[in-house]
Amino acid sequence: MKDYTANRYLPIAWELFHRDTRMLAHKLMELGPFKGIVAITRGGLIPSSILARELDLRLVESICVVSYDDRRQGDPQVIKGVETAAVGDGEGFLIVDDLVDSGVTARLVKAMLPKGHLATVYAKPQGQDAVDTFAVPVPQDMWLLFPWDGELQPNEPLARRKT
């Protein structure tokens, strides 16, 4: 397993995530129409819901891949595949995740659905070549704190922190 320690953290508020996902939808509208969406769980579930609404898609499937345990990345494991009869080789389908980091998960899913169009809301440099479309580039050493991964609580000003 590879440990990821970020030099910087970027909290993403719900409103910002929604705006960035809609920005992705604008890019994807020019590439469609799509038959449906395959969400890469868990991170791809929420952007898939937003994109399904914005692109007026009703067919949403999921593929479940585990590659992270907290902030340690291991070998990706597919714990639920897609319904082959509905999705086939991915032709006409939009494959969605929240973020591409190293590209390990994206490459695995793309190998399973080679004709699908893989899109992420955020993309780090090491994984950008593994996706077809993304909305927002982020630095490799930035750890994104998604709104569903945290809780609101008071914190000390940066100047008062020891680390």
Q: Hey, which residues are catalytic here?
A: 97-98, 101
Asked if 96 contacts 38 with a C-beta cutoff of 8 angstroms, the reply is yes
Two tokens at 64?
A: 């479940």
Per-residue pLDDT at 118 exceeds 60: yes
CATH of 9-148, one of 3.40.50.2020, 3.40.50.10320, 1.20.1730.10, 3.40.190.170: 3.40.50.2020
Q: What average pLDDT does the segment 124-141 reach?
A: 97
Q: What is the pLDDT of residue 1?
A: 44
Higher pLDDT, 100 or 154: 100
123 burial class (0-12, 13-18, 19+ CB within 10 angstroms)? Answer: buried
Q: Where are the domains of the chain?
A: 9-148
Mean predicted lDDT score pLDDT of the chain: 89
pLDDT in tens, 67-95: 766 566 667 878 788 876 788 999 999 99
pLDDT in tens, 45-57: 999 999 999 999 9
